Structure 1
Amino acid sequence: MRRRYAARVGITLNLRSARAADVHVGRSPLAELMSVLHILAEPEHHPEAQRWTRRLGTTFDVSLTQEMSALSPLWARLRCRLLFPLALPLDQSFEDELRLLEKLPLEEFTELCAQGVLGFRERVPDAHSLLNDPGAACRFIAECERRSFRRGELAHELMASPEGTRTRLIDFLERCGTAFFAAEWRAVYDRLEATVARFRTDVRRSGLAEVLAGLSPTAVVSQGGTRVRYDKLAVAEIDIGPRPLFLVPSVHVWPHLTFKDEESHPVVVQFAALEGQADGQLTQAELRARMSALASLGRMELCRHLLGEPITTSELAQRLGLDDTQVSRTLRQLRDAGLVESEREGKYVYHRLATGTLLRLGQDVLATIMR
């Protein structure tokens, strides 16, 4: 078994057997489209993209919108492995990726699609059982129905006609390409190209642990660079090498860092392409520090005084009836948490509330929970 589960939350990449040659970096238009469809399926989880999703939604006709909703189990939660690269080479065109999906052996399509329809990190019966054992198929359908009506409907269709489901899915993806995704792919292509070029260079020149730790601010390297752990709700250990690892950048995947670990296929990590911009993602420790700083009534009262014009420590102390040492200590706690900005002008240091940080706090909490 390649996947081993541990008591600690998070996903760990085990690099003991990994070589640079096992790591491949490249774009995937199909995976990028899935990231877009995921945002459209769960817009409330992506407040940073709401304006974009509203604008994009105006380009859809009714039938495309209905089909997007019906097929959404494949990308709403546990994104379907079918829509990530299944084999080398990477950087294929959208049309070529769809043709590979069209030619995929039916049992392989059924097994990967069934996992996506279930949308949960539990093993589904193998494709041979699903296609030849009515009892296994009925149990699978019942499990999907317990999860949601839409998943149950899609499970019924998949069990009744896997080839019909494949045709329906490919037709929908082609319609998405015509309606909006071809233009979107052109818009993000160069940005993804810069990320791919940088990571390919880093894989050749740097240690793998260093490169993989750069995928997320939550990554922790241990055991002499042979293990990299990421802050994820899922718990798994994934061996890299000799099984390949595909690193697939995405403009639309943020704040997620997506891992796919179906044992008969390469490991895939889809990560946010952040060339030329900060990712703005906090570690759990940073988020806890900010929320803890605001949990104190005294610190919250001090924040209210910092909301207007910049103010000195001594002025704050006078307003609050405290000595300068107490106020300085509180300001340091808030500054360390990123909630206060301080700037010297002449012989005085003026402090102000970091309102932008506070405005993003709710989004930061959501992003930390989602990743």
Structure 2
Amino acid sequence: MSLRIDVAGLRPERVSVAPSPLAELGMALHALAEPGHHPGLQGWVTAVTAGLDPHLADRMCEADFLWRTTFSDLFLPCAGIPGRTALPGATLADELDLLDKLTDEQFVDCALEFICAPGYDLPSAGVVSDPELRRRAFDLAATRGPRQVRFTRRLLDDPPRVRAWLRQFLRDCDEAFFADVWARVRPPLAADARLKTDLLRRKGLAETLTSVSSAVTLDEEAARITVDKLVVGRSATGDGGLLLVPTSLGWPHLMVLHRYGWQPVLHYPVGSPEPAAPPSVEQLALRMTALSHPVRMRICRMLARSAYTTTELAQVHGVSAPEISRHLTLLKKAGLVTTRRRGRYLLHQLDVAVVARLGSDFLEGILR
């Protein structure tokens, strides 16, 4: 599974790297709503939560589905501007002005993204004006709860009112806690953007994407970017551009805006503790499958304690050597078992460090 971005015909000057204050505010709201995703921000989350005005905290819960899952595309409005080459604003006020430039249809589609799960890779369905689609939106919202129903009703009945509410809410968040956050993270984000821009100019897009994350690769022959994620999606730069947006608060999330008709955006964490070569989604699935068999679990128990030959394992488990070999082959293919030669014997042993990382690798893989 992966996300793919077709970059055929993409001109080098249309690849941009720029921090976004609005996207970083979206990530801050996400971290406050889901602190378990971001263990490194626990202290900050605790401090902000303790100091929040109760009224603002209530408003934060009113539409937290816009940022709880990840965060809505509303936090990257530049991608929806016609021409698909717009950049984030330098200030939050600039970005809120870009948000105002989205049409009501764009705004509603993005706001309903996590409530009603409309088509993401297809043209807008026109839910604002289509009575049948409105009924479907309410039906889907009802499965999510009363808050989502109330928000959907307000949104569809009066989009400008909800837009004004969201704008004021974001400004209040900036005053309450985000201005201090942005003052702290903006310099390293700007520095990373300069480094990536320089790398893009000197080494090209492939090396720049590799520096963003080892989960992002470019097939230059096919003119396609592949992002290794546990989702399937497609996008294309077309006659527009490609935007890379660094985040200081985002790890472990590597997010891809691939909404139909919008400029594709890679929203990537900087300064993250990502291993040099994290396992791919396919490798994670292979490891989970390899460990799910009871015989292989018992083999791993022995190999965690010492190195054994295939014959020794067969004798202990009371099965044939060929059967043990088949199990070992799967474990080695998954990268869980190493083999070394001692004289004429092959000794197998569990790679304890890889197994110890499996839980965190799996969590990072599904949150990526």
Give the structure 2 partner of residue 93 of structure 1.
91
SS state of the match for residue 168, structure 1?
A: helix
SS state of the match for residue 291, structure 2?
A: helix
- Whole-angstrom distance in 2 between the partners of 1:189 and 1:280: 28
Q: 1:289 Cα shift?
A: 4.4
Give the structure 1 partner of residue 141 of structure 2.
145
- Whole-angstrom distance in 2 between the partners of 1:238 and 1:89: 18
Give the structure 2 partner of residue 370 of structure 1.
367
Q: What pairs up with 1:36-115 in 2 under 5 angstroms?
A: 36-44=28-36, 46=37, 48-49=39-40, 51-52=42-43, 53-77=45-69, 79-86=71-78, 88-90=86-88, 92-101=90-99, 104-105=100-101, 108-115=103-110
Give the structure 2 partner of residue 191 of structure 1.
188
Give the structure 1 partner of residue 14 of structure 2.
22
- Whole-angstrom distance in 1 between the partners of 2:330 and 2:198: 40
- Whole-angstrom distance in 2 between the partners of 1:51 and 1:336: 37
| 1:254 and 2:212 correspond | no
Q: 1:62 Cα shift?
A: 2.3
Residue deviations 1:262-304, cap 9 Å, x none? 4554322211223686477421233234334534556544654
Contact 2:8 2:223 in 1 (8 A): yes
Contact 1:12 1:237 in 2 (8 A): yes
SS state of the match for residue 58, structure 1?
A: helix
Q: 1:124 Cα shift?
A: 4.8
Q: What pairs up with 1:1-371 in 2 under 5 angstroms?
A: 9-44=1-36, 46=37, 48-49=39-40, 51-52=42-43, 53-77=45-69, 79-86=71-78, 88-90=86-88, 92-101=90-99, 104-105=100-101, 108-119=103-114, 120-122=117-119, 124-126=124-126, 130=128, 133=129, 135=131, 138-139=134-135, 141-148=137-144, 149-222=146-219, 224=221, 226-274=223-271, 278=275, 281-295=278-292, 297=294, 300-301=297-298, 303-304=300-301, 357-371=354-368
Q: 1:246 Cα shift?
A: 1.3
Distance 1:355 1:150, change over 3 A: farther
Q: Which amino acid aligns with 1:244?
A: G
Residue deviations 1:233-287, cap 9 Å, x none? 5433322242121110112333332222345543222112236864774212332
- Whole-angstrom distance in 1 between the partners of 2:211 and 2:298: 38
Distance 1:183 1:305, change over 3 A: farther
Distance 1:226 1:300, change over 3 A: same
| TM-score normalized by the length of structure 1 | 0.75
Gaps spanning 5+ residues in structure 1: where?
1-8, 344-349
Q: 1:109 Cα shift?
A: 4.3
- Whole-angstrom distance in 1 between the partners of 2:75 and 2:69: 13
- Whole-angstrom distance in 2 between the partners of 1:337 and 1:232: 18
SS state of the match for residue 172, structure 2?
A: helix
Contact 1:339 1:354 in 2 (8 A): yes
Count of aligned pairs between the two proteins: 350
Q: Give the RMSD, CA atoms, in angstroms.
A: 4.2
- Whole-angstrom distance in 2 between the partners of 1:334 and 1:291: 10
Q: 1:334 Cα shift?
A: 6.6
- Whole-angstrom distance in 2 between the partners of 1:233 and 1:282: 12
Give the structure 1 partner of residue 344 of structure 2.
none
Give the structure 2 partner of residue 3 of structure 1.
none
Q: Which amino acid aligns with 2:288?
A: M
SS state of the match for residue 189, structure 2?
A: helix
Distance 1:111 1:33, change over 3 A: same
Gaps spanning 5+ residues in structure 2: where?
341-346
Q: Which amino acid aligns with 2:141?
A: E
- Whole-angstrom distance in 1 between the partners of 2:220 and 2:277: 28
